[in-house]
Amino acid sequence: MTTFILLSKISLRSPGEVRALSVMDQEFDRRLKEECPEVRRIASYALLGEYDFLHIFEAPDAKSAARVALLANVFGHCTTQTLTAIPFEEFREIVEKM
Interatomic CA distance for residues 73 and 10, integer angstroms: 9
pTM of the model: 0.84
Is residue 82's pLDDT more than 90?
yes
Average pLDDT over residues 2-24: 81
DSSP output for the chain: -EEEEEEEEE--SSGGGGGGHHHHHHHHHHHHHHH-TT-EEEEEEE-SSS-SEEEEEEESSHHHHHHHHHHHHTTSSEEEEEEEE--HHHHHHHHHT-
| Domain boundaries, position 52 | 2-96
Average pLDDT over residues 80-91: 94
Interatomic CA distance for residues 7 and 85, integer angstroms: 12
Interatomic CA distance for residues 75 and 52, integer angstroms: 14
Is residue 83's pLDDT more than 70?
yes
Structurally, the chain folds into a number of domains equal to 1
pLDDT band of 14, cuts 50, 70, 90: low
CB neighbour class for 59 (10 Å; exposed up to 12, middle 13-18, buried from 19): buried
State pLDDT tens for residues 17-53: 677 778 888 888 999 999 999 999 999 999 999 998 9
pLDDT band of 13, cuts 50, 70, 90: low
